[in-house]
Chain A
Amino acid sequence: MKADPKGVLTGAHFLDGDHACSEGAISAGCRFVAGYPITPSTEVVERIAERFPLVGGVFIQMEDEIASSIAILGGAWGGKKVMTVTSGPGFSLMMEHIGLAAMTETPCVFVDVQRAGPSTGLPTQPAQGDMMQARWGSHGDYAIIALCPNSPQECYDLTIKAFNLAEQYRVPVLLMMDECVGHMTERVIIPPAEEIEITPRRFYDGPKEDFLLFKPDADLVPPMVKAGDGYRIHVTGLTHDEKGYPHMSPTAQAKLIPRLVNKIKLNADKIIEYKEDQVEGADVVVVSYGITSRVALPAIEQARKEGIKVGHLRLIVAWPFPEKRIQELAAKGKALVVPELNLGQIFYEVERNAYGKVPVTLVPHPGGTVHNPKEIYNAIKSIRHGG
């Protein structure tokens, strides 16, 4: 399906990442947004509030992030494409409803413009400290998808992708921006609507009497309906059967929960996206994402100038994690360097998949600013000498 031209501002713009995210949501067909202001994410909802009345959308500033994160789930069951936007403290408040969204297979997009934490931390300064929270923050077992843009253009493109994946897999998709990407202003190209590919909701179209709200298709994802369509659906956060009825048994749990995880796990190859540069002949590969992937470039350039064979793998989809690719790189003996604006999060995922076969070096940073490229360069260099 192509995008509804109504909201698409085709052309070249000069936008910051937050505003580009708002435009991505509008292009993707999002028409219900609930949010609560928090730096550095507020510009996303400000632009939505500005733009929505004339594109047929409803924006509501809720009383807190708990309310925002469940209002969007109501909006999704009302038939809309939905999004909420926040940063660290608000993201923490939203965790219960990421779990509810996963459990009820509600398509929705959560945007987290990461700032330095914990707690109130450094409200106006960057970090990448919510990456593990994105994956594991709600209680119990479930799976989500998380994307990491590194430019305003990607904030636009990946917001659309986030909506498409949410619909494809009936899952919450998390757009993990950071303060730098959110506040940097660059050229953003918005294509004509007819060039924007949109995944529509997987509405059920079989006979009404056969309908089961949680009966999966072959790809483990069930088709959906909305409230008011006459299906008399029941949706609960309790463990439930295919009809959606609560089932308080280990058997029902064993049927439902592995499917919620597997619909992402078994489709991971289709979901995962990363960009590689000169990885094939490399001795050392820098694995990075978000703003850090740009800060790493001068370090990589410098090392290459000095004759070190350095490759770069940039995560675009962080969750599900490209486990196989990291395993392949480790099997080929490539040392791995992981710079990130936290004291070690995605690093552990890389290390786990390297199985101890190659050295994996974390280049930590507590956030508040970005790395000095020299720190990344030093890490590359010391591997080379050490190895």
Chain B
Amino acid sequence: MKGVEMEDQMYEIEETMPLNPVESFLRMDRMPHIWCPSCGIGTTVNCFGRALETSGLDMDKVAIVSGIGCTGRVAGYLNLDSFHTTHGRPIPFATGLKLANPELKVVVYSGDGDLFAIGGNHFIHAARRNLDMTVICVNNFIYGMTGGQVAPTTPISATATTAPHGNFEQPFNLPYLAESCGAVYVARWTAYHVRYLTKAIKEALAKKGFSFIEVLAPCPTLYSRRNKLGDGLDQMVFYKEHSEIQHNIDTKTATLDFQGKIIVGKFVDKERPDYLTLMNEHYQKKFGDKYTPYKG
């Protein structure tokens, strides 16, 4: 509890300062946002703003792409070139955006259902191709926007409106999935770990290639309440007390059980040429001087 208070206080103090540095990354003319009180999505956005602040990136060259869902609304609140696409398809949209204009830093910010149910196929192929983009998944174990249905991340035995007797399907282990498909950066944090998360986002943004961050975040309105886990703060306490930082572990072991231990950390950070680098090298070899390296 103490740790939570400290983290929270740190933020509150900064938030009441005359100018919240994150504000310049937000579309303040769109406030108030639609998220419920103590929803974890806003906390992740705060971390994202802080990561941008120190990233050294030109904000005119950062584009954000979301799908549909509560997390899908993130794009609409960020003062960047921002695209709110269709359910499950932010990654292929981002693929086109990046390939058309490689000078952009492209970030996909979306929910667990969006990225791994309807959009799962796109995720695995983008990771395989090592497209240069950062994918941030807010995993609240549920479909928030549509009212709390079961997701491919819902832990076994947790309930959802479409799994009222408890879920019996095995959920994805997202870091393991990302790593096995070829992501060059994979991390998992929770909405409690604001400083770690901010650092991870900054690292992911600096990485060339497909970087992936899973952020566990409370959905107090649907997931926590239905599963009798208390409110957002109780979930934060749970994250604090049950998280174990284990960098570089075998992602295969990073499974999540219902209210069980949460392994967090930076699991993968490696180098592999990204899609456009491979394409340019390949065609240069093939066509020699006839080929002009593609720069957009």
Contacts and interface: CB of A to CB of B under 8 A. Distances in A.
A72 interface: yes
B76 A234 contact: yes
A74 B96 contact: yes
Interface in B37-87: 60-61, 63, 65, 75-76, 79-86
Given A53-B283, A227-B104, A82 B27 contact: no
Nearest to A68: B92
Nearest to B97: A74
Contacts of B65: 74
A221 B150 CA distance: 42
B76 A58 contact: no
A279 interface: no
A232 B79 contact: yes
A238 B84 contact: yes
Given A63-B121, A75-B100, A237 B93 contact: no
Chief secondary structure at chain B's binding surface: helix
Interface in B264-296: 279, 283, 286-287, 290-292, 294, 296
B89 A64 contact: no
Contacts of A96: 86
B125 interface: yes
Nearest to A230: B60
Interface in B108-133: 121-122, 125
A227 B97 contact: yes
B151 to A, nearest CB: 20
In which size bucket is the chain B interface? 35 or more
B94 interface: yes
Contacts of B79: 232
Contacts of A68: 92
Contacts of B279: 58
Contacts of A161: none
B61 A228 contact: yes
Contacts of B287: 53-54
Contacts of A229: 60
Contacts of A226: 101
A196 interface: no
Nearest to B91: A67
B30 A245 contact: yes
B84 A60 contact: no
Interface of A: 31-32, 34, 53-54, 56, 58, 60, 62-64, 66-68, 70-80, 82, 96-97, 100, 226-238, 245-246
A115 to B, nearest CB: 24
B103 interface: yes
Given A63-B121, A74-B96, A228 B86 contact: no
Given A228-B103, A234-B27, A74 B84 contact: no
A237 B81 CA distance: 15
Contacts of A56: 292, 294
B202 interface: no
Nearest to A64: B121
Nearest to B96: A74
Given A63-B122, A236-B76, A71 B95 contact: yes
Contacts of B99: 32, 58, 60, 71, 74-75, 78
B98 interface: yes
Contacts of A60: 95, 99
Contacts of B95: 34, 60, 62, 67, 71, 74
Contacts of B86: 70, 96-97, 100, 237
A226 B98 CA distance: 12
Contacts of B94: 74
Interface string B16-32: 00000000000101100
Given A32-B96, A78-B96, 13 more contacts: A63-B122, A67-B92, A67-B121, A73-B96, A74-B98, A75-B96, A77-B97, A79-B100, A226-B101, A228-B104, A235-B84, A236-B84, A245-B27
A231 B59 CA distance: 11
A106 B60 CA distance: 21
A232 B83 CA distance: 10
A72 B96 CA distance: 6
Given A63-B122, A71-B92, A78 B97 contact: yes
B100 A74 contact: yes
A32 B60 CA distance: 22
A355 B198 CA distance: 66
A232 B92 contact: no
A167 B166 CA distance: 51
